[in-house]
Amino acid sequence: MYHSVVWDEPLLKELEEIKKEKYILMSVLPESLQRKTIIDIPDLDETQVMRHFFHLSQMNYGIESGFYPLGSCTMKYNPKICEEISRWEQFALLNPYQDESTTQGTLRMMYELEQMLCEITGMDHFTLQPAAGAQGEFTGLLIARAYHESNKDAARDEVILPDTSHGTNPASAAMAGYKVIEIPSTKEGTVDLEMLKKALSDKTACFMLTNPNTLGIFESEIIEVARLVHEAGALLYYDGANMNAIMGKARPGDMGFDIVHLNLHKTFSTPHGGGGPGSGPVGVKQKLERFLPVPWIVKKQDTYCFDYAHPDSIGKIKSTYGNVSVALKAYIYILLMGGNGLKEASEIAVLNANYMKKKLVDSKLYQLPYRELRKHEFVLSCEHLLSTKGIRALDVGKRLLDYGLHPPTVYFPHIVKEAMMIEPTESESKKTLDIYIDTLLKIAQEDPSLVKSAPQNTVVQRIDEIGAVKNPILTWKNLDKTKE
Ligand SMILES: Cc1ncc(COP(=O)(O)O)c(C=O)c1O
């Protein structure tokens, strides 16, 4: 606790000493290095600085502040106990280069988490190394390449994906050196089997898919998709970022997927967003096991250790062993929830999404393209609002801010015009969902000029989002210049 300073005699003396030291230092510095003008930095006391930063922190929005239905992002409640345990010094102060004999608990946790993820997804072996979903995709695609090369089938240089796929899918495929082939979806919003058949060839390395897809629709033809892909000699890749919809209900391994990545930082108790840390473990079927990154975590009798003896491995993907604290949170979360708890979480996530969807669609103010039944998220279109009132999805999102609510994802997936993608998750009450629904309905009936000029009640109004990314202003000096 700080009290206001009393400038008594000893303190003044001390200050004099400090000044003297400063002058001595100045005198030993060569003239050329000495400052000629007074340094131009803000002159603020500790209280002001504290209030400034506290105020800034309040301008931020997180799941702790309110409902965050950002479709495709699974912004759900992350139990605080997972956060707390992951900060225990027994875990947080470990050094990755410590002798294995001193880190048995953490190694056991990682080993057991891999087993749990195998059980949840129906895969045979997992690595915890990748630090994000996108890095998981990249890892999975390198594994696919290693597999085809080992089969003397290296000419396979194409990755197929549907037009609903998340942007990281084509990006990862391109980064891994593949040609990206996009196929259009059916009118139902699912994989078009005819298009898939046409695209598959002896050049196909992999078909990447998320199920449920980014429209929130379960790919009910998945068994046939898997059959076609395998018949063509290719592999089936599962983007598990939407796992929150099907935990305990269906397993990608049983659907025929060969490679899976999960976003622990969505489904398994780590906040998503803000740049990390994240974790995108990759699971594979037995035939791909030998290509997994090293080291593996193995158990020899009662001892856990790292195992590097895998000559066919794609090598190392991330420094040391991945983001272990994120893995730890997932481990605690899975133990806390248990199998039935995970299943129930998915059931409620799906229920919440379908409740919201029904109320919004019944209003006829927003439209639902493609198939009716959704899983954990749904995508509405604001096309009708645009044609009748000139209101776009972006305007609705901005207007929500005036009501203190976070907007949904907009303009994704690209195949839906004026898309608004809502993912309520399992951790929200009916009351919260009702408030959001009522607000969306209200906005659709408001004066268009009000909606199009929103937000009015926020610190900043409409920002140049592209400019903000391309030319970020991150210091007070630059900020000042923009005012000049
Ligand atoms: C469907 C889907 N796939 C992949 C990713 C990529 O995950 P990450 O952001 O961890 O790289 C996301 C992220 O939002 C996603 O929604």
Query: What is the pLDDT, as a whole number, of residue 194?
Result: 98
Please check whether residue 395 is in contact with residue 420, taking contact to mean a CB–CB distance below 8 angstroms: no
Please check whether residue 296 is in contact with residue 310, taking contact to mean a CB–CB distance below 8 angstroms: yes
User: Which protein residues touch ligand 1 with a CB less than 6 Å away?
Assistant: 72-73, 132-134, 166, 168, 210, 214, 239, 241-242, 263, 278, 280
How far, in Å, from the CA of 421 to the mean position of ligand 1? 14
What 8-state DSSP symbol labels residue 6? P
Instruction: Tell me the CB-side half-sphere exposure of residue 397, using CA atoms within 13 A.
Output: 21
Q: Where in the chain are all domains bearing CATH 3.40.640.10?
A: 80-337
Residue 1 has pLDDT above 70, yes or no: no
Supply the residue whose CA is at minimum distance from atom 13 of ligand 1.
73
Query: What is the pLDDT, as a whole number, of residue 396?
Result: 98
Supply the residue whose CA is at minimum distance from atom 9 of ligand 1.
133
Question: Before 455, cis peptide (omega within 30)?
Answer: yes
For the record, the structure tokens of 132 come out as 């994000």
pLDDT digits (tens, 9 = 90+) for 204-240: 999 999 999 999 999 999 999 999 999 999 999 999 9
What 8-state DSSP symbol labels residue 235? E
What 8-state DSSP symbol labels residue 32? G
Residue 4 has pLDDT above 80, yes or no: no
Question: What average pLDDT does range 297-322 have in this prediction?
Answer: 96
pLDDT digits (tens, 9 = 90+) for 133-188: 999 999 999 999 999 999 999 999 999 999 999 999 999 999 999 999 999 999 99
How far, in Å, from the CA of 172 to the mean position of ligand 1? 11
Alpha helices in 9-45 (DSSP H): 9-28
Positive or negative torsion for Cα 107, 251, 182, 265? negative
Strand pairing class (409-410; 419-422) = antiparallel
pLDDT digits (tens, 9 = 90+) for 23-58: 666 677 888 888 788 787 878 899 999 999 999 888
Which ligand 1 atom is nearest residue 265's CA? 10
pLDDT: which is higher, 21 or 314: 314
Residue 329 has pLDDT above 60, yes or no: yes
Q: How far apart are CA 434 and CA 466, in angstroms?
A: 33
Nearest to 235 by CA among 257, 264, 263: 257
CA dihedral of residues 251, 79, 328, 119 (deg, nearest 10): -20
Q: Where in the chain are all domains bearing CATH 3.90.1150.10?
A: 344-468
Burial (CB < 10 A; 0-12, 13-18, 19+), residue 178, is buried
Nearest to 280 by CA among 222, 342, 237: 237
Query: What is the pLDDT, as a whole number, of residue 41?
Result: 81
Q: Which helix (H) or strand (E) holds 31?
A: none
pLDDT digits (tens, 9 = 90+) for 435-472: 999 999 999 999 999 999 999 999 889 988 889 889 88
Supply the residue whose CA is at minimum distance from atom 16 of ligand 1.
72
Please check whether residue 356 is in contact with residue 422, taking contact to mean a CB–CB distance below 8 angstroms: yes
Q: What is the mean pLDDT of the chain?
A: 93
pLDDT digits (tens, 9 = 90+) for 384-426: 999 999 999 999 999 999 999 999 999 999 999 999 999 999 9
pLDDT digits (tens, 9 = 90+) for 69-83: 999 999 999 999 999
Identify which of 166, 270, 376, 422 to mutate to test ligand 1's pocket (most ligand atoms within 8 A of the CB). Answer: 166
For the record, the structure tokens of 229 come out as 């892909």
How far, in Å, from the CA of 49 to the mean position of ligand 1? 36
Which ligand 1 atom is nearest residue 263's CA? 10
The topology (CATH level 3) of 80-337 is Aspartate Aminotransferase; domain 2 (3.40.640)
Alpha helices in 193-233 (DSSP H): 193-199, 222-231
Which ligand 1 atom is nearest residue 73's CA? 14
What number does CATH give the domain 344-468?
3.90.1150.10
Which residue's structure tokens are 């005036």?
Answer: 402
Please check whether residue 67 is in contact with residue 439, taking contact to mean a CB–CB distance below 8 angstroms: no
Identify which of 168, 217, 237, 421 to mutate to test ligand 1's pocket (most ligand atoms within 8 A of the CB). Answer: 168
SS3 track for 343-357: HHHHHHHHHHHHHHH
Supply the residue whose CA is at minimum distance from atom 8 of ligand 1.
133
Supply the residue whose CA is at minimum distance from atom 14 of ligand 1.
73
Residue 476 has pLDDT above 70, yes or no: no
Contacts of 76 (CB under 8 A, 6+ apart): 63, 244, 266, 349, 425, 426, 427
How far, in Å, from the CA of 272 to the mean position of ligand 1? 10
CA dihedral of residues 293, 299, 304, 307 (deg, nearest 10): -30
